């Protein structure tokens, strides 16, 4: 029991240091894994060795997930460089006519659509650099435009095969078992976005003035954009997100395979001009996409190390009494536990699957008193919140800076609504999966 308390103390100490920005997540996660291994009494070498199993094998544990993320970023770059992304966004704006609310809803709908396959800060910047100036130009207040865009991004992310691959790799749940959860979270995210826009329009009206100087947004938005796609082939290219998600849900293929299909589809229907020039676009998209995906891949190294450190028989034996004491055993207990503690997903805390949450989920699963699908679903539900409104998430930082505010200012109004929505989704998913 004492050793278990020490391990939890290490967990909480590093979590606090991360929240206070004293140590970045990419360093904190490996340090935590090694510290937990030492506290649990793992040897340096061998099947449970800190150097062999925790560090070496841990860095490769989620290889399938971070390779899928790199491929998704590659697809993001192809869609951007060939004009598909801009075409989809601008067609949505045209359909909205001169009605600001309709335009805003259309743009957010398109963002959801795009982020079912796009991934990373680069993708957020590519889409946001078009979506946000249009919303600002029709009079949407900057903070509202920023939060609506981030809400639609997180809704699309719920269905993104890369994120589904992450949850399956971390908790061991089957993709087929978590697909329904992903669809529900996406639907809830869409409803949340529309309700937020409707409430904001009713409260604020239309303001043809900007807290951020228009030229600040214009500088980013006026960078040279690719030529839009046209005709029937262009339409098929714009259907790339539909193809990717449909293949994932219908054929239940691995995320890497799904993204390769998406890449091939996009290449076939956007190819124009000389192949030598077009192939260069494909190669450059690969390089830039992998560059954009590198930060997330680096986090996956540390998450894999934590998972290995926490799941060795030796560690589980010493931590089991503590985890048995705190892990809920009933559906109601699980709902209360997650609803009360889900704010700890912010700042890559213990409920963020892309941070310390991987270790907590692994330890709770090892107690073997909760259904894997139920625990995976509620952790995935809690992950939606920091994706949308964590001040340290890179897409939040970029979007906030783009509209002229700091991330804390833009996200503060969204924390209570996000807490409520997360609690509602946890109740729904527990009722379905428990």
User: In which band, very low, low, confident or very high, does the pLDDT at 142 lie, cut at 50, 70 and 90?
Assistant: very high
User: In which band, very low, low, confident or very high, does the pLDDT at 208 lie, cut at 50, 70 and 90?
Assistant: very low
Q: Is 371 exposed, middle or buried (0-12, 13-18, 19+ CB in 10 A)?
A: middle
Which of 33, 10, 49 is closest to 307 using CA atoms? 33
**What is the mean predicted confidence (pLDDT) over 397-422?**
89
**Per-residue pLDDT at 417 exceeds 90:** yes
Q: Is 44 exposed, middle or buried (0-12, 13-18, 19+ CB in 10 A)?
A: exposed
Q: Which residue has the tokens 């303001």?
A: 207
125/128 Cα distance (integer angstroms): 5
The pLDDT of residue 224? 61
46-50, 226-230, 283-287, 305-309: range with lowest mean pLDDT = 226-230
Question: What is the tens place of the pLDDT at every residue in 340-368?
Answer: 988 888 876 778 877 777 778 888 888 88
The pLDDT of residue 225? 65
The total number of structural domains in the chain stands at 1
**Per-residue pLDDT at 92 exceeds 90:** no
Cα-based distances in Å from 367 to 9, 314, 357, 364: 19, 14, 16, 5
User: In which band, very low, low, confident or very high, does the pLDDT at 210 lie, cut at 50, 70 and 90?
Assistant: very low
The pLDDT of residue 430? 94
The pLDDT of residue 112? 94
The pLDDT of residue 346? 83
CA dihedral defined by 419, 420, 424, 427, rounded to 10 degrees?
60
Domain that holds residue 270: 2-433
The pLDDT of residue 13? 86
**Per-residue pLDDT at 314 exceeds 80:** yes
User: In which band, very low, low, confident or very high, does the pLDDT at 205 lie, cut at 50, 70 and 90?
Assistant: low
**What is the mean predicted confidence (pLDDT) over 28-53?**
90
**What is the mean predicted confidence (pLDDT) over 275-280?**
90
User: In which band, very low, low, confident or very high, does the pLDDT at 86 lie, cut at 50, 70 and 90?
Assistant: confident
Mean pLDDT of the chain: 86
User: In which band, very low, low, confident or very high, does the pLDDT at 270 lie, cut at 50, 70 and 90?
Assistant: very high
Q: How many CA atoms lie within 13 A of 432 on its CB side?
A: 19
**Per-residue pLDDT at 228 exceeds 80:** no
User: In which band, very low, low, confident or very high, does the pLDDT at 260 lie, cut at 50, 70 and 90?
Assistant: very high
**Per-residue pLDDT at 393 exceeds 90:** no
202/196 Cα distance (integer angstroms): 10
The pLDDT of residue 206? 56
pLDDT above 70: percentage of residues in the chain: 93
Q: Is 64 exposed, middle or buried (0-12, 13-18, 19+ CB in 10 A)?
A: middle
**Per-residue pLDDT at 217 exceeds 70:** no
């Amino acid at each position: 029991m004492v050793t278990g308390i020490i391990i939890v103390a290490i967990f909480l100490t590093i979590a606090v240091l991360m929240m206070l920005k004293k140590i970045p997540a990419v360093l904190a996660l490996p340090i935590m894994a090694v510290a937990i291994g030492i506290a649990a009494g793992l040897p340096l070498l061998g099947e449970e060795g800190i150097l062999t199993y925790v560090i070496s094998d841990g860095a490769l544990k989620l290889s399938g997930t971070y390779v899928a993320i790199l491929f998704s970023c590659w697809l993001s770059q192809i869609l951007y460089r060939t004009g598909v992304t801009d075409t989809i966004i601008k067609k949505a704006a045209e359909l909205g006519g001169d009605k600001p609310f309709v335009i805003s809803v259309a743009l957010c709908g398109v963002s959801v659509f795009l982020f079912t396959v796009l991934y990373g800060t680069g993708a957020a910047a590519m889409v946001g650099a078009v979506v946000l100036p249009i919303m600002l130009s029709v009079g949407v207040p900057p903070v509202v435009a920023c939060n609506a865009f981030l809400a639609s991004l997180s809704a699309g992310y719920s269905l993104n095969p890369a994120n589904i691959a992450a949850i399956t790799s971390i908790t061991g749940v089957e993709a087929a078992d978590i697909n329904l959860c992903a669809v529900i979270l996406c639907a809830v995210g869409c409803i949340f976005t529309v309700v937020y826009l409707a409430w904001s329009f009713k409260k604020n009206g239309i303001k043809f003035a900007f807290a951020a100087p228009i030229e600040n947004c214009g500088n980013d938005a006026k960078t040279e954009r690719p030529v839009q796609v046209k005709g029937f082939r262009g339409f098929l290219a714009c259907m790339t997100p539909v193809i990717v998600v449909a293949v994932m849900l219908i054929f239940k293929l691995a995320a890497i395979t799904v993204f390769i299909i998406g890449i091939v589809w996009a290449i076939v229907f956007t190819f124009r001009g000389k192949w030598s020039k077009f192939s260069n676009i494909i190669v450059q998209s690969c390089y830039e996409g992998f560059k954009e995906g590198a930060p997330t891949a680096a986090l996956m190294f540390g998450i894999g190390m934590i998972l290995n450190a926490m799941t060795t028989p030796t560690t589980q034996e010493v931590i089991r009494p503590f985890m048995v004491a705190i892990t809920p055993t009933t559906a109601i207990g699980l709902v209360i536990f997650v609803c009360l503690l889900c704010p700890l997903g912010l700042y890559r805390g213990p409920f963020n699957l892309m941070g310390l949450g991987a270790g907590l989920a692994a330890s709770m699963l090892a107690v073997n008193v909760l259904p894997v699908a139920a625990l995976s679903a509620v952790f995935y539900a809690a992950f939606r919140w920091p994706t949308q409104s964590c001040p340290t998430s890179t897409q939040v930082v970029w979007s906030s800076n783009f509209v002229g505010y700091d991330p804390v200012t833009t996200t503060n109004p969204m924390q209570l609504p996000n807490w409520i929505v997360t609690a509602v989704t946890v109740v729904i998913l527990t009722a379905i999966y428990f």
